[in-house]
Every structure is written in C-alpha cells, then in structure tokens.
Copies of this chain bind each other. A is one copy, B any other.
C-alpha cells in the first residue's frame, strides 16, 4: 500500500492526497487527542468514503505511527538547525532551547504526542528511540564542547548529566504550558523558561 508509483501525474496526485490525509489527521489529534484518531472521520472531512483511505494508509495504527515518527523527525530537524548557530556552546544551547519551545508551542499536540502521556495501548516503534536520541544529541554535544568557565571541555559523564538536567527543566516548563496548566496563574512562561535555560547554561564560557 505504502510504496507505489511516486512519479508522473498519478504519483503527484497520490502524494498530494496522502499529505492531505496526514494534515487532517493532525487536525483531529489537535481537536480530540490521539486516541480519537479515526479513519472514517478523516475520510468524511475529505469528502471521500473510508475504504478509499486504504489506498494511502495501511491501517489506523500505521497512520498513528507515521504521525509520531514525523513529529520526532520534525523536532529533530529543528534542534539540529538551531545547533548550527554560530558562536560559543552557551549561545548554541540557548538557541536550541528557544527553538524547541517555539516548536513545542506551535505544535502543542505534536509535542505532547512525543513527550506527554503515552497513548494507551500503543507501542512506539523502535525507530522512535533512535529519533529521540537524534533530538537529544545536539544538546549533549553542546555540553561536551565546553565545561564550566576555566575548563575547556567536559567529561562525557558530566555532559550527559547536564544535558539531562537541561532536558527535564525545559520539559517541566514546556509541558505544563503546552497542556494549559499555567492559565489563570499569573505566570510569564517565556520569562520562566528563559530563567531555567540560564540556570543550566550560566556557568559555561
């Protein structure tokens, strides 16, 4: 099902419809959560009948897997791009943190699909783990490149430890914000986030 002609006029059409399917799927997840993802509903929204979707997708679960992997890949790209920022490690890490936050808030459902409450009964494919490391890698690289002022470099263990703290602190703010748990609390999440980033990165050269 997945791999058929991808060139010529038919191939172009296929890819176009396929990408609309994915788009509608995201809309549904955003509106009603991953467990409400429904092929029939997608088909209806696209003005088609449900069986037609099986030309583009192997099954409901397969679609969900594709969406999750796409989200991972998307975020990994964002992190890697930000890691390309010129300048010292500290600036790079700050850039990564900011890029992740922007992406997470723009794509709250995607972020929560990756790092939020696991979709019940759904088993992530092994590929997901690899992609999770791809997101994490630029952070570890950043901390490995520079140690606290004075030390030019970090040990791998220290870099790993700091990366974990970096990750959990950022996730703490982002996930609460993305899930809407700050509303009505007189919190400035952007400032809070910036402060948390600083807290991990402040003593780097």
Contacts and interface: CB of A to CB of B under 8 A. Distances in A.
Interface of A: 31-33, 35-36, 112, 115-121, 129, 164-165, 167-173, 175-176, 179-181, 184, 187, 192, 195-196, 199
Pick the 6 closest A-B CB pairs, nearest first: A172-B172, A33-B120, A168-B172, A116-B117, A32-B120, A117-B117
B196 A165 contact: yes
**How many identical chains are in the complex?**
2
Given A115-B181, A117-B117, A169-B169, 14 more contacts: A31-B120, A33-B120, A35-B35, A35-B120, A116-B117, A118-B179, A164-B192, A165-B195, A165-B196, A168-B172, A168-B192, A170-B172, A172-B172, A172-B175
Contacts of A32: 120-121
Given A173-B168, A184-B129, A192-B164, A179 B33 contact: no
10 contacts: A33-B117, A33-B120, A35-B36, A115-B176, A115-B179, A116-B117, A118-B179, A118-B180, A168-B176, A172-B175
Chain A binding surface SS class: helix
A28 B175 CA distance: 25
Nearest to A171: B172
A169 B32 CA distance: 28
A116 B116 contact: yes
Contacts of A120: 31-33, 35-36
A30 to B, nearest CB: 9
